[in-house]
């Protein structure tokens, strides 16, 4: 059984709650980059102040558009490459975990529990009033192994089709693996 991946359009829609923070961040990065470019041009060249402002403004706008497009492209490609499947009693998990990439194949009998939306770390608990942190924690898939160790798959509910993911978590119970998802 394999969990279906969301389309890139659905992945982007799942991040609509992040839009207010993005709208605040864009002017900040624009000002930071444009100011840095002006300082650099003033320091390294003998160009006049008006020309420096025009060049820095052009670079600032270009940076925002190219950087924004690049980030959206990276995000959708990254989440579109997720994988969660169970085949021949081997659980395959591939995706983003923290700052790194997760690509694991483990025997299903070494997994004790798979939960959606649990296990906030200490920093996340301190930031619990932040809706974006809560959104990130609620979309995480946590795997607890029989030896007591665990690993996580970030943004799982954004990358995977939620119905397919819930079906998988219900199905996995037939393999003696606990889950926090119940049949409706």
| 133 pLDDT more than 60 | no
Residues 175 and 86 placed together within one structural domain of the fold: yes
Per-residue pLDDT of 111-124, as tens digits, reads: 999 988 765 444 44
Q: How many angstroms separate the most distant Cα atoms in the chain? A: 72
Alpha carbon 122 to its chain centroid, in Å, reads 19
Q: Which domain, by its residues, includes 39? A: 8-79
Is position 152 within any domain? Answer: yes
* Same-domain pairing of 92 and 172: yes
Q: What pLDDT shows up at residue 116?
A: 85
What's the helix, strand, coil split of the chain in %, to 5? 55, 20, 25
Number of domains in the chain: 2
pLDDT digits (tens, 9 = 90+) for 79-115: 999 999 999 999 999 998 877 898 999 999 999 999 8
**Percent of the chain at pLDDT above 70?**
88
* 2 within domain boundaries: no
Q: Is residue 1 part of a domain?
A: no
Statement: the pTM of the whole predicted model exceeds 0.75: no
Average pLDDT over residues 27-54: 91
Asked, for residue 184, whether it belongs to a domain, the answer is: no
CATH number at residue 170: 2.30.29
Q: Are residues 106 and 160 in the same domain?
A: yes
């Amino acid at each position: 059984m394999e969990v279906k991946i969301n389309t890139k359009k659905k992945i982007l829609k799942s991040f609509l709650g992040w839009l207010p923070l993005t709208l605040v961040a864009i002017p900040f990065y624009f000002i930071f980059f444009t100011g840095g470019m002006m300082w650099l041009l003033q320091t390294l060249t003998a160009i006049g102040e008006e020309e420096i402002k025009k060049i820095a403004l052009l670079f600032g706008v270009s940076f925002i558009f190219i950087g924004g497009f690049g980030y959206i492209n990276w995000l959708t490609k990254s989440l579109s490459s997720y994988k969660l499947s169970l085949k021949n009693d081997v659980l395959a998990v591939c995706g983003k975990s923290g700052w790194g990439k997760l690509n694991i194949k483990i025997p299903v009998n070494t997994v004790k529990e798979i939960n959606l939306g649990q296990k906030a770390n200490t920093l996340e608990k301190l930031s619990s009033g932040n809706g974006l942190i809560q959104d990130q924690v609620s979309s995480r898939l946590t795997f607890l192994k029989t030896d007591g160790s665990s690993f996580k798959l970030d943004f799982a509910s954004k990358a995977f089709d939620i119905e397919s993911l819930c079906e998988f978590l219900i199905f996995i119970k037939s393999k003696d693996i606990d889950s926090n998802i119940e049949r409706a």
